[in-house]
Structure 1
């Protein structure tokens, strides 16, 4: 079933498409332990990256960059979490659009020397995300294969209420794909989704962008997460894109594992 996954190769200097999910990055307290966890889970190796915001490494899958791991500044109180970045060819304009549409820009825009320009923002519902204007580093070199990013979903109380924000900022059109579920598209092509979560779920686990990583076997990967000291937050089940589970690493950063169904190639 190797054909069930939609692998996408990217030119490292490809022109950024506004709104395209282009990178995921994790900020942790113990980068060394995180490298070991994700290396054992996904087969990642690492190379030093820009240090504009502190120690940072790029995760490599077969030598190709697929994610970033950095260290949280001490005593910030910020959560350990994965952040999905969206391509922003004109990042200052998009940061202004975030503010104009009721969102918040918490960091930047600022330069990451030798890589690009970034900002960290949140939508009106408080869901955090990143904006990335590439220079030498365009983002993912490959997606949709085991060990690489596959998809990102916005977990939010009311998808319809935040859709206009993402349309104004990232150019997303929104397609209703069932009760409480929207698919975000660019030029008719699905790029992300938004899923309604109830009040209890929002209170217990929060809301925000969930990074999903492709795996060959979801159940086996869940067992590996447990063996490495992580948690299974939601057991494997069939979802809109295929078999999926929600897990957390040893510091509590939540992410998803997915075996994409052939229908979504």
Structure 2
């Protein structure tokens, strides 16, 4: 199991969510959509509403009436890893999708118009990490951030950072700031001088069953209490709760194996 990286969660300094290159949405593709709703509803207090018919079957996840993300169902018989996927904002999804292809990535879904969500596409970088692109349609009550139960940070776990960080910088013009710690291969991606995500090279410690993948960090009020509740709901703790420079965090997985992080005190 890969040692959990130090999260670079910004303390209230994230750029506006519609700035191109900023994470603006998360979604989970699960085999059992009803079971996933029950799990995350109990863990984070989410409620659910039907999602866009173009992406059916799927639901929107809401917290206090505001959208947090979405949950969709994987096609029957497809043995794909269950995972959380971040979407990066784009002013022109079609153009950015073409840039993904030109830079060695792939596009697997879209671009397409997804009802009230906006125009989106899903692809992967040249090292196989899946991510989405989204030109969101603003609507009242959307985009809650920074509260318990919401995503507050995203980190790409990969073999090494050099090529991967270059790929994403070509898409969005990120400024890359290396971690100053000796022996740590980690780069924080900045826009307008502010951190928006990170790339962490873990070498041979990269999980063989996952390969390169994005990790989403969710804010919680109490990491220890949240991990206990997660286990009671059928989830697993992969890296126990510990104190970091950015808050108390744990790496966990839901009952189907989707990995994510819980972090307390990121703000």
* Alignment of 1:233 onto 2:238: yes
Residue in structure 2 matched with residue 141 of structure 1 by the alignment: 143
- How far does residue 138 in structure 1 lie from its aligned partner after superposition? 9.4
How many Å separate the matches in 2 of 1:124 and 1:30? 29
- How far does residue 181 in structure 1 lie from its aligned partner after superposition? 1.2
The alignment's TM-score, normalised by the length of structure 1, stands at: 0.89
- How far does residue 15 in structure 1 lie from its aligned partner after superposition? 8.1
How many Å separate the matches in 2 of 1:48 and 1:192? 29
CA 1:5–1:125: 2 relative to 1, 3 Å: closer
Deviations 1:6-60 (CA, angstroms, capped at 9, x unpaired): 56999xxx88211010000001111111111001100111111102122111111
Segments of structure 1 that go 5 or more residues without pairing to the other structure are none
CA 1:236–1:205: 2 relative to 1, 3 Å: farther
- How far does residue 144 in structure 1 lie from its aligned partner after superposition? 1.6
How many Å separate the matches in 2 of 1:185 and 1:33? 36
CA 1:159–1:205: 2 relative to 1, 3 Å: same
Q: CA RMSD in A?
A: 2.4
Q: For the Cα contact (< 8 Å) 1:23–1:86, is it kept in 2?
A: yes
2:84 to 82, 88, 112: 82
The alignment's TM-score, normalised by the length of structure 2, stands at: 0.89
**Where do 1:38-187 residues align within 5 Å?**
38-136=40-138, 141-178=143-180, 179-187=184-192
Deviations 1:138-167 (CA, angstroms, capped at 9, x unpaired): 996211211111100000111122111111
Q: For the Cα contact (< 8 Å) 2:57–2:73, is it kept in 1?
A: yes
How many Å separate the matches in 2 of 1:40 and 1:9? 28
1:189 to 169, 183, 194: 194
* Deviation larger for 169-178 or 149-158: 169-178
CA 1:103–1:216: 2 relative to 1, 3 Å: same
Segments of structure 2 that go 5 or more residues without pairing to the other structure are 1-8
CA 1:48–1:7: 2 relative to 1, 3 Å: farther
CA 1:120–1:137: 2 relative to 1, 3 Å: farther
How many Å separate the matches in 1 of 2:147 and 2:10? 6
Deviations 1:122-152 (CA, angstroms, capped at 9, x unpaired): 1111111000111245996211211111100
- How far does residue 172 in structure 1 lie from its aligned partner after superposition? 1.5
How many Å separate the matches in 1 of 2:168 and 2:10? 27
